[in-house]
Amino acid sequence: MKRLTLILLALPLALPAIALAQEEDAAPRKILYQKATEIDFNAVNVDAALIGPSGGFHSESKRPIFIPMISVRSNFNPEMEASIDDVK
């Protein structure tokens, strides 16, 4: 039991020492990439299958028909004549 307690107490003290033991780089690494990558697709054969949903697919649903609650009038002549009489 004493040995287990000693290991559990020493373990948190040893872990930071392992992290500090890493070697530091003298100079930062320089990574060079190619300016362009050319891929030849003519030499590649691709076998594939189209996988779709099982069942029917409806692309467009019916739009609901709403009954207008406000009636739009096209003739306001009686009100216009009455307003002219009110102004006179």
CB atoms within 10 A of CB 78: 8
Residue 82 corresponds to which tokens in the numbers above? 């009455």
Q: What is the structure's pLDDT at 36?
A: 92
Share of residues in the chain with pLDDT > 70 (%): 77
Q: Tell me the whole-structure pTM to 2 decimals.
A: 0.21
44-80 pLDDT, tens digit per residue, is 787 888 887 777 666 677 788 888 888 888 888 888 8
Percent residues over pLDDT 90 in the chain: 2
Q: In Å, what is the CA distance from 73 to each residue of 7, 33, 36, 37, 68?
A: 91, 73, 69, 69, 13
